[in-house]
Structure 1
Amino acid sequence: MGEEALPLPSPGRCIYGYGLFILSNCLLIMYFISLIPDHLLDDFGLSYVPSKYWYIAIPTFLSTLIFVFGFIIYPSIVMLLTEPMESIHLFTDNFSNQKCNLIPDRGDISSIYDIPVEITTKMHYYRPEIA
């Protein structure tokens, strides 16, 4: 049987968590060192530190990279991997629980059911002014 994904601590999670904790603390200390003027660093004997430019450029570059990936590249990959409406991979079987009326009859919480792909696609992607 496969392993269950439990939220309990495991040795792997502890090791990765500790490593990320140490890395983030080192980066925070390096950032605080970048705020200290150069003449004070020379007094402490720290003569070799990276240029102040890189303390600003690297986080800016990384945040821009995360933004571009999260809002442009990842949705583009999802759209490329989406099956067309005529695909044989979009089907229903005997185990699907579909309900024709999407509006619940009563005011309470309705039961769980599968919404057909055609309806969700029309709700999200259909634009009458284009068609």
Structure 2
Amino acid sequence: MEDRHSVNSPRRILSFSKRRRATVSFLDQDDRTYSGFGPKTSEVYGFVGSITTVVATGIFLVWAYVPERCLNAIGIYYYPSRYWALAVPAYAMVTLVLALVFYIGLNFMSTPPPTSLNKMFDEFTREASSCSPEGDDRPIEPISDISIDKINALMFNDVN
């Protein structure tokens, strides 16, 4: 149970308890830890959002497909034109496709051409003359540079 000498608000919790001195704590909604009792805020928003989506879809389908005489029979006389039942989804899909094409076009415009050296070099690239092979930065020697005579000498010296 809650202490009857405490004042709660969304931003400030002020407690006047006889067992301890008065304390003031400022807690945000996100700073409170979930105690395991009751629903989380995000779960409530998700549930209400899903129910609202289902109800809105049902109303849209009834408006779009039920004949006018049936709507008038149940007492609904004012509703938008049936033209918008097709126009709004069509406009939404065309807008989405145009936004996607525009976004891809902007990416192509901001990317350097394939022949540009800017694709291979940036501010972290080191020039070949500034590289000094010391320690771990030394490049690995290719295996083709090892002669057959050195390989034979290594193999026969290890056997003896």
TM-score (norm 2): 0.42
More strand by share: 2
The structure, 1 or 2, with the larger RCO (C-alpha pairs under 8 Å, 6+ apart) is 1
TM-score (norm 1): 0.50
Name which one, 1 or 2, has greater alpha-carbon Rg: 2
